Structure 1
Amino acid sequence: MHPLSDVFRRYAVYHFRTSSPLYECLSLAAADDHGLLELAAQAGPGQPQPNMLSGAVHYLLLRGVDHPLRHFYPSLTSNPGDPALAFALFKDFCRAYRDALLPLLRGNRVQTNEVNRCAYLYPAFCRIYRQTGRPLALIEIGASAGLQLLWDQYSYAYGTGEVYGGASAALHLSSEPRGGIVPAFLRQLPPIADRVGIALHVVDLQREDDYAWLQALVWPEHRERRLNLEKAAGCLKRRPPRLIEGDAVGLFAGTAAAMPEDAALGKEKSGRQI
C-alpha cells in the first residue's frame, strides 16, 4: 500500500465529505491509484497532498486549460456532471498535464485566506476597544495575503436586523451567534492605529498568479467563499496592508515595538486574533 493511501481516504471522509462531493469522490478513488499518489507525493514538505493535488488541477482549469474534466467543476460550469463519474477524466488530466502540475505541487503552498473569520473578529475587537478606549494596533502572524487585516473594510450582520461596520462596504459577512449570548456590537468601527502582517511566504494579490492560486484553493462547490475572496481582494488592491515576509519568531518583537505607544495591541497567530 502506498503511504499516502490513508491520507487521501482520511481527507475524503473527514474534510471533503461534508462540503465537496467532487473532491470526496476524487480523493477516495485516488487513494487506490499508485500513479496519482506518486504525483501528489511531489508536494513540498509539510503540505497536505490531497489539497495540493486538487488545488493544482483546479488552478490549471481556472487558467483556461481546455479538458472535459472542467465540466465536473461547479466553479467552471452552472450544470456540473455527477462527481462519481469524474475520476477517469481526472486521471487523464493529471497524466496529460503532469509537467504543468509538478512545479505547482513543488513550489506552492496551501495558504487560504478565509475572510469569513472576520465575522468573529469584529465583536472581539469591539470588546477590546470598549474595554481600553484605545485605537487598535494589529499584528497578524501567518498573514498570507493579509485579507483579515482589512476586517474594518467589511460590513457584518448577526441576525439582529442591524448592519455593523461599513454600511456601503463591497463585502458583507453574515454570522449567527449561538448559545444564547449576543456580543455587544459597536455601531462605529473601532479605530485602527496601525496594522501589519508577518508571513513566511507572503501572497501578493497584485500578482495574477498569486491571486489565481488562492482562487484555486477554494473548493469548487464553495461559491460564497469564492465571491467573498473576490470582493476582499478588491478591497486589498485599493488599500493594501503592510506585509513583512519572514519568521515571526525573530520579527515580532521589533514589529510590536514600532507600534504606536497609545494603541491596544492585537496579535494574531494561526488565523486567530486576540
Structure 2
Amino acid sequence: MIKRKAQFKLWIALFFYILTGGMRILNSKLVSIYRTFAQEECRGVSRLYEVLARNIAEDEEVLKLSEKAKEGQPVPNLLFGAVHYLLLQGRPHKLKHFYRSMTDQPKDPENSFPCFKNFCRLYSKEIESLLQTKLVQTNEVRRCTYLYPVFCEVYRLTKNPLAMIELGTSAGLQLLWDQYSYVYEGEEVYGNRNSSLLLSSEVRTVTAPFLLKTSPPAGKRIGVDLNVSDLTNEEEYLWLKALIWPEHNERRLLFERAALHYVKNPPQLVEGNAVELLEDLVATVPENETLCIFHTHVANQLSHSMKKDLLYKIRQIGKRRNVFHIYNNMDDQKLHVDAIINQKEQRHTIGQIDGHGRWFEWQPPLIRFD
C-alpha cells in the first residue's frame, strides 16, 4: 500500500514535471522576445519597461497571459499598452506609483515587478480582452520634422498644391504636417508659425535642407490603414496614449497637442488594405495637385510580394501622372524620395532617420523636372 502511494506520488510529480516542461517549451519564444525587448529596445529608453520585460521573461504566469496576444502583434508593446491603458482609465492599484505618466515622482523601477504581476492577476480578464482586440500602432507626429523639408522640396519643384496619400496612417496625424510649426537650428521657426504644436529636430549632416518659412499649400489628403484610429473617440484616443511609454512625457505632450489639430480638422481616413485601394484613392486626386504617396515605419510590416505590388502600382500610376513616393523600410531604414516625372523614374536617398523624429540626415533629392 505504501509502495503504491509512493508510485502514485512519483507519477504525479512526473506529470507536473512534464507539464511545466511543456509550458517552458511553449513559452520559449516569448522568453526570447521579452529578453530581447528589454536589452535592445528598452535599455536607455525606458528603465521601467526594461525591468518589467526582464522579469516577465522569468515568470510563467505573466508569460501565459502574454500568449493571449493577437497573432502578428509585438507582444511586449501590446501587454504594456494594455496595462498602461487600464491605469490611465483609473483602475485603482499601487502599480501607478511606478509610472511617470501617473506621478511626478515615480518609485524605483527595480521594485516594480511584484506590483505589475499582482495588477495582471487582478485585471487578467480585462487585459486578455485588450490583448485580443487592440493593435500596436504608432503615431509619432515628430516624424513630420523630416517630412516637412521633403514637401518643401517637392513644392519648390512643382509649384502646385500637394495632395497626400499616407499608407499605414493610423490616426492620420502626419497628414496634418502643414498645420504644425518647426525648428531645426537656432530660433528660426518654419511652417505654420501660429500653430500650438512646435516640433524640433536635429539635422545631423553638414548640408541643411531647403525650408520654406510658411508651409507649402496642401490639397487633397487621405490616410488609409487596416485599422484607422478616430481621435474623437475617447477609448481610441486613450489607447494610443497608452502606447506611449511612461517616461516619454514629451512624446505624450506632442501627441495631445496634435490630437487637438485633428479634432479641429480631421483628415479623410479610409479603412482597408492600402496597396489594394491605392489606385482608387489616386483617382480622387485632382490633376492640378502634386501627388505624394508616403509612409514611414510601415513597410517593414509588408511581405516581399506586397512591397513588389506597391511599387508596381506606383509605376502604373506614374504612366498616367507625375507622382512622388516618400518612404523608408522598403529595403533599408533610410528615408527615400522616388519620383516619376513625365514617365521617367528617379530614385533618391535622403539619409538615416530617427524613429521618433529626434534627428535625421539630409542629402537633398536632385530631382529633375524635364
TM-score band, normalised by shorter chain: over 0.9
CA contact (8 A) 2:97 2:107 kept: yes
Counterpart for residue 269 of structure 1 = 295
2:212 counterpart of 1:186: yes
Counterpart for residue 6 of structure 1 = 32
Counterpart for residue 98 of structure 1 = 124
- Partners of 1:141 and 1:271 in 2: how far apart? 10
* Secondary structure of 1:193 counterpart: strand
Give the 5 Å matches for 1:164-175. Answer: 164-175=190-201
Counterpart for residue 72 of structure 2 = 46
* Secondary structure of 2:269 counterpart: strand
Counterpart for residue 332 of structure 2 = none
Q: Pick from 213, 238, 246: which aligns with 2:239?
A: 213
How far did 1:271 drift? Answer: 4.1
How far did 1:188 drift? Answer: 2.2
How far did 1:179 drift? Answer: 1.5
Larger Rg: 2
Q: Pick from 153, 159, 163: which aligns with 1:133?
A: 159
* Secondary structure of 2:63 counterpart: helix
Give the 5 Å matches for 1:10-159. Answer: 10-159=36-185
Q: CA RMSD in A?
A: 1.0
Distance change (3 Å), C-alpha of 1:242 and 1:166: same
- Partners of 1:194 and 1:236 in 2: how far apart? 15
Structure 1 stretches lacking a partner, 5+ long: none
**What are the superposed Cα offsets for residues 157-212 of structure 1, whole Å, 9 maximum, x if unpaired?**
00132100111201100111111111010112111111000000010111100000
* Secondary structure of 2:203 counterpart: coil
Distance change (3 Å), C-alpha of 1:183 and 1:270: closer
2:244 counterpart of 1:238: no
- Partners of 1:38 and 1:77 in 2: how far apart? 30
**What are the superposed Cα offsets for residues 232-255 of structure 1, whole Å, 9 maximum, x if unpaired?**
000000000000001112210010
Letter in 2 for 1:139: I
Letter in 2 for 1:119: T
- Partners of 2:117 and 2:39 in 1: how far apart? 20
Q: Pick from 232, 253, 256: which aligns with 2:282?
A: 256
* Secondary structure of 1:194 counterpart: strand
CA contact (8 A) 2:193 2:214 kept: no
> What TM-score results when the alignment is normalised by the length of structure 2?
0.73
- Partners of 2:125 and 2:228 in 1: how far apart? 25
- Partners of 1:271 and 1:257 in 2: how far apart? 25
Letter in 2 for 1:261: E
The alignment covers a number of residue pairs equal to 274
**RCO (CA 8 Å, sep 6+): is it higher in 1 or 2?**
1
Give the 5 Å matches for 1:185-204. Answer: 185-204=211-230
- Partners of 1:52 and 1:248 in 2: how far apart? 23
- Partners of 1:49 and 1:269 in 2: how far apart? 23
List, as ranges, runs of 4+ consecutive aligned residues in structure 1 with deviation greater than 3 Å: 270-273
Q: Give % identity.
A: 49
- Partners of 2:275 and 2:172 in 1: how far apart? 18
> What TM-score results when the alignment is normalised by the length of structure 1?
0.98
- Partners of 1:258 and 1:143 in 2: how far apart? 18
